[in-house]
């Protein structure tokens, strides 16, 4: 950090909230409700993250559309999901992730946002997500902390594409150097914003504390210019 920012821009998934109790549990529940036998949530977790890594390397990357999510769901279940149930299971999963019960707000988040706001920082969201994000943040009672919520699918570009940072910066009407972006993906939340001339901090919940990363959001409160 070189100087105190005016705007603090936050990523959402892995930064403010995480799937709860896990992606695998939600997928297994949805499949079971659709008539499939019980599947091991841990196996589904592993397969989800493997599929996630795969789809992000496809030409064009992951575009956060319903079609892209449906493809990811199919890849996660692989042969465990019969073709005639794929749509039903996908719709169920899509809907379940609109619900606040399947998300956990990291414990330090509300206090940290409250304190940052009381210190006069302008708080915003910049997230790779889809049309479910703003209603979800409302359900979780997180939306009121933010003066603006930029959702990549509405912009048409996703972090780390430079366009999404340009669009956000224009909306916020601020010089690039006065924005600090904080998130958990090195490519999307550190390299992308740094390229755009923003300041950036990586949330690394595995516990690393370095000049460029913090172990949880609460460490933002230590910022000094």
Nearer to Mg ion, 120 or 207 (CB): 207
Question: Minimum distance from CB of 17 to Mg ion (Å)?
Answer: 9
Q: How many CA atoms lie within 13 A of 218 on its CB side?
A: 8
Closest CA to 124 of 171, 88, 67: 171
Question: Minimum distance from CB of 127 to Mg ion (Å)?
Answer: 7
The angle formed by the CA atoms of residues 173, 177 and 180, to the nearest 5 degrees, is 85
Rounded CA separation 12/113 (Å): 13
Give 136's contacts (C-beta < 8 A, 6+ positions apart): 97, 98, 100, 103
Question: Minimum distance from CB of 200 to Mg ion (Å)?
Answer: 13
Nearer to Mg ion, 12 or 223 (CB): 12
Nearer to Mg ion, 18 or 71 (CB): 18
Nearer to Mg ion, 179 or 202 (CB): 202
Nearer to Mg ion, 13 or 100 (CB): 13
Angle between helices 23-33 and 66-77 (to 10 degrees): 90
CA distances from 70 to 65, 73, 85, 150 (A): 9, 5, 12, 23
Question: Minimum distance from CB of 182 to Mg ion (Å)?
Answer: 10
Residue with the CB atom nearest Mg ion in the bound state: 14
Question: Minimum distance from CB of 13 to Mg ion (Å)?
Answer: 4
- How far from the centroid of its chain's Cα atoms is residue 101's Cα? 16
Identify the three-state secondary structure at position 103.
strand
Which residues in this chain contact Mg ion in the complex, by CB under 5 A? 11, 13-14, 184
């Amino acid at each position: 950090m070189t100087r105190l920012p005016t705007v603090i821009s936050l990523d959402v998934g892995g930064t403010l909230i995480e799937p709860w109790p896990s992606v695998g549990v939600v997928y297994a529940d949805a499949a079971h409700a659709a008539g499939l036998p019980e599947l091991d949530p841990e196996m589904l977790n592993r397969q989800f993250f493997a599929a996630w890594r795969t789809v992000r390397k496809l030409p064009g990357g992951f575009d956060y559309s319903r079609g892209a999510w449906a493809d990811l769901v199919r890849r996660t279940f692989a042969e465990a999901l019969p073709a005639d149930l794929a749509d039903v299971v996908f719709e169920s999963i899509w809907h379940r992730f609109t619900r606040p019960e399947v998300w956990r707000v990291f414990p330090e988040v509300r206090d940290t946002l409250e304190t940052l706001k009381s210190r006069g920082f302008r708080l915003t969201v910049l997230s790779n997500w889809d049309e479910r994000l703003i209603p979800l943040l409302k359900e979780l009672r997180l939306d009121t902390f933010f003066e603006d919520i930029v959702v990549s699918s509405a912009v048409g570009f996703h972090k780390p594409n430079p366009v999404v940072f340009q669009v956000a910066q224009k909306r916020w009407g601020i010089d690039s150097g006065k924005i600090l972006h904080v998130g958990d993906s090195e490519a999307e939340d550190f390299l992308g914003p740094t390229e755009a001339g923003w300041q950036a901090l990586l949330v690394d919940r595995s516990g690393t504390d370095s000049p460029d990363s913090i172990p949880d959001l609460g460490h933002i409160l230590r910022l000094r210019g």
